[in-house]
C-alpha cells in the first residue's frame, strides 16, 4: 500500500493556491440533537479562531490561522467588525431558546434561530404536519445567509435521526435544498439513537426512513452512533454521561473534521474534496470518523504520533460502534494537527502498512491521504477532554458501517412484523409503502457493503 503526503516544501504553495479557492459553507442545525451539537461546535470554533461570544475577534499566536482569513468560510463579518456564524438553527420546540437566552446570544443572528410551538417525535409529523410556518421560516433564514455569500459551496446539516424533527423535517428540508440550490454540496452529520439515551420507542422507524432520505439527498453523511460516543464519555467521567458530555466530545471531533475547511490546509479543504476523497460510489457515502488521543481532563498526555495513529483503528476511538479491523477500506484520510513531525507520520504510515492494519478493496487506490496542520488543538471550557498539543482525526470509508445498518434493520423488523405503532404515522397520511421502500433501501445498502467485503461489488448492476 502506498500513501500520499504533502511535504513541507509544497505546503506554502499549496496554501497560497488553495486559499484563493475558499468558498462559503452554511451550517444548518435541526432538532434537539442538531441544535445542541451546534451550540457546542460554535463555541469551540470561536475559541479556535479567537472570536469572543460577542462576535469580536482577538489576535495572537494561539488563534487558528493567525492572519489567515479562511475562517470566513464559516463566519461572515459585519461593517462593525462583528463575526457572525453562517448558521441556521431550526427546531419545532424550545431547544433553540437555550441559544437565544444563553451565553452565545450576542454571537448569532436572531433571525436565523427558527423555532415552532409544538414538538415532534414521529417522522411523518416532522415531515408533513409540524408547524406549517417552519419550512418557510427555515428557508427564509437559509436564503438570508446564502444571499450574503459570494461563492456558496454548500451546506453542513446536523441532525438526529431518532426524533421527528431531526428525521422527518430534515428529510423535507434537504429535499427543498436540492430543488432550490441544485448541485450545491450537502454533507450531513447524523446522530443515530442508542437505547441508553433514547426514550423514543419508534426511533428505528424514524432512523430507517431518515436513512433513505440521506441516500437520496446528501452527498456524504457522517454517522454519529450515540452508543459509541456514550462509551467514549464513560471513559472520561464518573457516572452516567449527560447529553452535554456527549455533545462536547462530538464537537471536538467535528472540529477536527472541519478544520481544513476553516483554515489553510492541504487536504479536504472544501466539501467537494471531502466527497471526492471519501465517496467512491453515490450509495457508498457514509464515512466513519475516528479521533485520538482521548484523554480525560487532568490526565497525563504522552501519546506518540504512532500511538495516536494506531488508536484511530481502535473501535473505542470511533464515532461508530463497529470493528475497523474486520472491515474493507475504500478510502482513508489522516488529518494531523499540532506539534507533528512529518517523519513520525512517515514511520506511523509505514508501520500500518507493514502490519496490514487497513485492508483496502482491490478496486480502489491503496493509499492513506495525509494532511498536517501546525495549529495546536483547543478544548472547550466544559469539555471532559484534555487540551492536548497534538491530535489526529481519521476519516475513512469502510464496510464496518454495515454493522449499523444490520442493528437498525433488526430493530425495525421486530416492530414492523407486528405493525406496531404504525398508526402514529398513518394518521399523518403516511402510506405503508414508505416503510417498505425505506426498509428495502436499507437492506440493499447493507448488501452493497457485504459485496464490497466479498470483492463482488458491481456498481453498474
Among residues 213, 255, 227, the alpha carbon closest in space to that of 27 is found at 255
Continuous segment of H or E residues that includes residue 27? strand 24-30
Distance, in Å, from the CA atom of 186 to the CA atom of 271, rounded to the nearest integer, reads: 8
Can you read off the three cell numbers belonging to residue 243?
A: 447529553
Four-residue CA torsion sign, 13, 15, 18, 20: negative
CA–CA distance, 86 with 75 (Å, rounded to integer):
5
DSSP assignment of 360-420, as one string? E-TTS--EEEEEEE-SPP---TT-SBPP-SEEEEEEEEEGGGHHHHHHHHHHHHHHHTTTT
> Is 273 noted as a catalytic residue in this protein?
yes
Instruction: Please state, in angstroms and rounded to a whole number, the distance separating the CA atoms of residues 421 and 453.
Output: 35
**Rg of the chain's alpha carbons, rounded to an integer?**
21
Cell of 293: 488521543
Rounded Cα distance, 360 and 96, in Å? 43
As a whole number of angstroms, the distance between CA 229 and CA 217 comes to: 26
Q: Read off the C-alpha cell for 334.
A: 489522516
User: Is-contact 157 174, C-beta < 8 A?
Assistant: yes
CB 212 within 8 A of CB 442: yes
The answer to whether the CB of 139 falls within 8 A of the CB of 181 is: no
The answer to whether 412 and 212 have CB atoms below 8 angstroms apart is: no
DSSP state of 116: -
Choosing from 273, 387, 440, 446, the catalytic residue is: 273
Q: Put the strands of the sheet holding 113-115 in their side by side order.
A: 113-115, 87-91, 24-30, 152-160, 185-192, 220-225
Q: Which three cell numbers stand for residue 164?
A: 421527528
The phi and psi torsions of 370 (rounded to 5 degrees) equal: -130, 140
Q: Which residues are catalytic?
A: 273
Amino acid at each position: 500500500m502506498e500513501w500520499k503526503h504533502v511535504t513541507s516544501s509544497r505546503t506554502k504553495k499549496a496554501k497560497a493556491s488553495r486559499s484563493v479557492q475558499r468558498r462559503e459553507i452554511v451550517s444548518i442545525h435541526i432538532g434537539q440533537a442538531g441544535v445542541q451539537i451546534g451550540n457546542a461546535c460554535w463555541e469551540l470554533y470561536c475559541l479556535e479562531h479567537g472570536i469572543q461570544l460577542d462576535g469580536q475577534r482577538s489576535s495572537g499566536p494561539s488563534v487558528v490561522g493567525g492572519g489567515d482569513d479562511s475562517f470566513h468560510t464559516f463566519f461572515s463579518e459585519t461593517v462593525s467588525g462583528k463575526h457572525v456564524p453562517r448558521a441556521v438553527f431550526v427546531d419545532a420546540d424550545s431547544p433553540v431558546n437555550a441559544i437565544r437566552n444563553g451565553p452565545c446570544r450576542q454571537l448569532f443572528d436572531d433571525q436565523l434561530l427558527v423555532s415552532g410551538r409544538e414538538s415532534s417525535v414521529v417522522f411523518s409529523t416532522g415531515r408533513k404536519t409540524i408547524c406549517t410556518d417552519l419550512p418557510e421560516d427555515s428557508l427564509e433564514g437559509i436564503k438570508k445567509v446564502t444571499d450574503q455569500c459570494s461563492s456558496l459551496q454548500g451546506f453542513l446539516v446536523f441532525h438526529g435521526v431518532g426524533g421527528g424533527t431531526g428525521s422527518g423535517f430534515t428529510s423535507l428540508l434537504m429535499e427543498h435544498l436540492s430543488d432550490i440550490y441544485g448541485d450545491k454540496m450537502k454533507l450531513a452529520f447524523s446522530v443515530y439513537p442508542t437505547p441508553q439515551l433514547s426514550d423514543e420507542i419508534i426511533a428505528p422507524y424514524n432512523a430507517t426512513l431518515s436513512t433513505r432520505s440521506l441516500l437520496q439527498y446528501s452527498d456524504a453523511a457522517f454517522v454519529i452512533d450515540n452508543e459509541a460516543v456514550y462509551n467514549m464519555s464513560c471513559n472520561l467521567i464518573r457516572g452516567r454521561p449527560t447529553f452535554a458530555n456527549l455533545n462536547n466530545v462530538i464537537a471536538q471531533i467535528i472540529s477536527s473534521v472541519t478544520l481544513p475547511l476553516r483554515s489553510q490546509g492541504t487536504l479536504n479543504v472544501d466539501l467537494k474534496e471531502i466527497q471526492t476523497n471519501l465517496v467512491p460510489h453515490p450509495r457508498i457515502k457514509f464515512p466513519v470518523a475516528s479521533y485520538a488521543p482521548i484523554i480525560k481532563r487532568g490526565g497525563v498526555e504522552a501519546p506518540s504520533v504512532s500511538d495516536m495513529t494506531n488508536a484511530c483503528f481502535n473501535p473505542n476511538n470511533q464515532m461508530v460502534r463497529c470493528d475497523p479491523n474486520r472491515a474493507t477500506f475504500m478510502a482513508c484520510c489522516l488529518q494531523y494537527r499540532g506539534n507533528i513531525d512529518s517523519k513520525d507520520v512517515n514511520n506511523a504510515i509505514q508501520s500500518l502498512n507493514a502490519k496490514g492494519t487497513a485492508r483496502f478493496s482491490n478496486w480502489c487506490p491503496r493509499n492513506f491521504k495525509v494532511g498536517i496542520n501546525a495549529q495546536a488543538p483547543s478544548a472547550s471550557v466544559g469539555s471532559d477532554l484534555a487540551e492536548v498539543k497534538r491530535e489526529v482525526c481519521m476519516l475513512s470509508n469502510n464496510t464496518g458501517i454495515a454493522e449499523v445498518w444490520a442493528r437498525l434493520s433488526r430493530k425495525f423488523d421486530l416492530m414492523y412484523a407486528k405493525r406496531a405503532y404504525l398508526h402514529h404515522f398513518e394518521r399523518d397520511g403516511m402510506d405503508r409503502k414508505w416503510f417498505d421502500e425505506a426498509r428495502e433501501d436499507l437492506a440493499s445498502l447493507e448488501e452493497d457493503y457485504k459485496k464490497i467485503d466479498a470483492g463482488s461489488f458491481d456498481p453498474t448492476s
